[in-house]
Amino acid sequence: MATVAIARSKPGATRRPAKKGAKRGGKWSPWLFALPALVVYVAFLVYPAVSSLWFSLTDWDGLSATYNFVGLDNYAKLPSDPVVATAVRNNLIWTIVTIIVPTVIGLALAIALNGKVHGKPILRMVFYTPAVLPLVSIASIWGWLYNPQYGAINSFLRLIGLDGLAQPWLGQDSTALWAVMVPAIWLRTGFPMLLYLAALQGIPNELYEAATVDGASRWQQFWHVTMPGLRPAHYIVLALSLIDSFKVFDMIYAMTYGGPGTATQVMGTWMYANVFQYYQAGYGTAIAVVITLVAIAVGIPYVRSQTREAS
Amino acid sequence: MTIAPVRVEAAVPTEPEPVSRPSKGRRGLVMTLVLAVTAIFWISPLALLVITAVRPLADFIGNGPLSWPDEFTWSNFKDAWGIGNFATTYRNSAFLALMKVPLGVAISAMLGFALAKLRMKFRRTVMFTVFLGLTIPIYITIVPVFIMMRGAGATDSLFGLIGPYLAFGIPFEVLVLQSFFRQIPDEIIEAAKVDGAGDWRIFFTIVLPLSTPALVTVAILDAVATWNEFLFALILLNSDANKTIPVGLLNFQGQFANNNTGLAAGILIAVVPILIAYMLLQRWIVGGLTAGATKG
C-alpha cells in the first residue's frame, strides 16, 4: 500500500514544476482537441464564405463549367438594381422593427411576470412556444391566418364589423412586409422575455425598498432601478437580435417568396432568386457578400466582448 | 429560429423570489388576468390550428374559421400524413438530428475544452474566428457548398447536410460550452494532473461529467435548430425520398392551398414533435437560455 502511494506521488511531484510549460501530452495536445471542430468549421463555413468572395468577382451563371473574372462589375451593378434598393430598405425596416418591437413586448411581459402572478411557468412557456417552431411552419400558420377568404384574421375583422379592413394582407405591396413581420415578432418575443425575466430576478429587492423609502414613484423606480439593472441583458438582447435580423430568409421565402412582385424582397431572398432562378450566381453572390459584410461589422463588438470575457 | 448564443451556468431555472411589496394580492390577481388574456391571444394561432385540423372541410367552410366545430374528425390527419409524405420526412429529420447532434456536441466540447482549460497557442485568434461564425448568414455559403457537394456526389443525400449543419452549429455550441468549462475550478484539474491523469482522461472523467447540464442544454437547442433548418435542405435535397420536415411542409403547403383543414392538420403533424419535446424539456431550454443573462 505504501509503495503504491509513493509510486503515485512521485511522478506527480516531478510533474508539478513543469505545469507552466508543456502539459502532459505536449504542446500539441490542445490542438488534438481543437482540430475536429476546426476542420469542419473551416471546411463548411469559412471556406465556402471566403470562396463566395471569389464567385462574386465572376460572371458565373451557376450552371456552366466556365466563367470569367469580371472584377468588381457585379458590385458596380448593385446600385442601379431597383430590387436591391427595395431589399436594402426592407432589410433596414425588418432590422429596426424586429428588434424594437419584440424587445419592448418581451420586457413588458417579463416585468409583468416578475410580479406576484399565478401560473408563472405556464405563462412563460406559452410566450416562448413560437420560438421553438420551425420558421417554415410559422410561415405556413400565418399564411393560413392571412388567407383573404378563409383566413382567421379577415374573418375576425368581419365578425367585429370592420369589414372594410379585411384585405389580402400578403397579396398587396402596402401591407405585405408588415404582415410578414408580425409572425417574426410573434416568434422573437419569447427570447428577450426569458432573458429579462432572469435578469430581473438578479436585481436586489433592497434597491426597490430604498427607492420606495426615498419616495420614488413606480415610474421612477423603473427608470432608475430596473433599467440600469437590466443593462447586461439589454446588451445581449440587442446584440443577438441584431445578428439574427440580418439572417432573415426562411420566413420571407416561405411566406411571400419576395412578392407580391418584389415588394418583400430582402438581400437574402434576392440573392437566392438571382442564383437559383435567374442563373446569375456571380451577381447573386455579390448581394450576399454585401449583406454579410454588414452583418459581420455590426456583430464584431459582440464577438469581441465574448472573446475578451473568456480570456 | 437560429438559436441564440448565451452562456449557460446552470440548467435549472431558479424560480423568482416572491417580491414582497405592499398591496400585492389585488394587483397580482389583476396582473394574472391581464397576462392570461394576453397568453390566450398569443397562443390563438396554434389553438385555431388545432380546432381547424379536427373538423371536416365542409364544416370549416360552412361555419367559418372562428366558429366551434359542429363535428369532429381525424380524417384530415390521415389525408395529410399520406399526401405530405410525413413518414419519410419524419424519418429523414430524425436521422439527421441523431447523426448531427451527438457529433456536433462532441467535437464542440473538445474544442471548448481546449479553449477553456488547455494552454493553446493562438487561443484568442481561434476563439474570435469561431465566434465570428455566429454572424455569418447561411446564404453566403450556399453556392460554394452546393458546388462542393456536387463535386463529392453528396447532393440529394442526407449525409451531404451533416458537414454544413455541424459547421453552423459549432460557434454557438463552443461559445456556451467553453464558458461553462471555464467555471470548473482549476484546482480539480490540477489535482487530477498530480495523480497522473492526461488531458483526455481529465476531459472524459472530470470535465464532461461536471458539465452535464450544459451538454444537455446545448444538445437540445442544437436538435431544435437541426430539426428546423431549411435553407441547406432546400438547395441540397431534390427527391421526395430525402426531404426533411421543413422542406416537405413547404411542398405540402402548395398542394393543400385550398384544403384548409388538411393544411392545418399537416402543419400540426410537422410541429407536434417539437412542441411535445419543448414541453417536456422546457426546464432545460429556459434555464440554458437565461442563465447567462444575469451575469451578462
Instruction: Give yes or no for a contact between B174 and B115, defined as CB atoms under 8 angstroms apart.
Output: yes
Identity of residue A265: Q
CATH number at residue B90: 1.10.3720.10
State which residues of chain B have pLDDT below 70.
Answer: 1-24, 288-296
B28/A115 touch (CB, cutoff 8 Å), yes or no: yes
Among all residues of chain B, which has the CA nearest to that of A238? B4
A29/B136 touch (CB, cutoff 8 Å), yes or no: no
d(CA A287, CA A56): 8
The pLDDT of residue B90 is 93
The answer to whether position B50 is within a domain reads no
The pLDDT of residue B109 is 97
Instruction: Give yes or no for a contact between A193 and A106, defined as CB atoms under 8 angstroms apart.
Output: yes
Note the pLDDT tens digit of each residue in A99-135: 999 999 999 999 999 988 888 889 999 999 999 998 9
Dmax over CA atoms of chain A, in Å, equals 93
d(CA A188, CA B175): 21
**Mean pLDDT score, A181-189:** 95
The pLDDT of residue B9 is 44
The pLDDT of residue A3 is 34
Provide the residue range defining the domain that includes A220.
73-310
d(CA B105, CA B214): 10
The pLDDT of residue A308 is 82
DSSP, collapsed to helix, strand or coil, labels residue B21 as coil
- The tally of domains found in chain A comes to 1
Cα end-to-end span (Å), chain B = 22
CB proximity B169 to A under 8 Å? no
Judged against a pLDDT cut of 50, whether residue A22 lies above it is answered with no
Burial of B156 from C-beta contacts in 10 A (0-12 / 13-18 / 19+): middle
d(CA A202, CA A212): 18
The answer to whether position A247 is within a domain reads yes
The pLDDT of residue A29 is 84
The pLDDT of residue A282 is 94
Q: What average pLDDT does the structure give for chain A?
A: 88
Judged against a pLDDT cut of 90, whether residue A274 lies above it is answered with yes
DSSP string over B172-205 = HHHHHHHHHHHTS-HHHHHHHHHTT--HHHHIII
pLDDT band for position A86 (cuts 50, 70, 90): very high
If one counts every other C-beta atom within 10 angstroms of the C-beta of residue A174, the result is: 10
List of chain B residues whose C-beta atoms are within 8 Å of the C-beta of residue A137: 246, 249, 267, 270-271
The answer to whether position B78 is within a domain reads no
d(CA A130, CA B271): 10
Provide the residue range defining the domain that includes B208.
84-290
d(CA A284, CA A289): 9
List of chain A residues whose C-beta atoms are within 8 Å of the C-beta of residue B46: 129, 141
Question: What phi and psi, each to the nearest 5 degrees, are found at residue A28?
Answer: -85, -15
**Mean pLDDT score, A163-188:** 93
The answer to whether position B169 is within a domain reads yes
The answer to whether position B143 is within a domain reads yes
The answer to whether position B282 is within a domain reads yes
The answer to whether position B181 is within a domain reads yes
CATH number at residue A104: 1.10.3720.10
**Mean pLDDT score, A251-272:** 93
Among all residues of chain A, which has the CA nearest to that of B234? A250
The answer to whether position A135 is within a domain reads yes
- The tally of domains found in chain B comes to 1
**Interchain CB contacts (distance < 8 Å): A and B:** 364
A307/B131 touch (CB, cutoff 8 Å), yes or no: yes
- The alpha carbon of residue A60 and the mean position of all alpha carbons in its chain are separated, in whole angstroms, by 30
pLDDT band for position A164 (cuts 50, 70, 90): confident
Among all residues of chain A, which has the CA nearest to that of B140? A288
The pLDDT of residue B10 is 42
B260/A119 touch (CB, cutoff 8 Å), yes or no: no
The answer to whether position A80 is within a domain reads yes
DSSP string over B31-96 = HHHHHHHHHHHHHHHHHHHHHHHTS-HHHHHHH-TTSPPSS--SHHHHHHHHHTTHHHHHHHHHHH
Judged against a pLDDT cut of 80, whether residue A9 lies above it is answered with no
pTM of the model: 0.87
The answer to whether position A68 is within a domain reads no
DSSP state of A46: I
List of chain B residues whose C-beta atoms are within 8 Å of the C-beta of residue A44: 141, 145, 163-164, 166-168
A201/B294 touch (CB, cutoff 8 Å), yes or no: yes
| Mutation target vs A (from B103, B143, B146; most A CBs, 10 A cutoff) | B143
Identity of residue B39: A
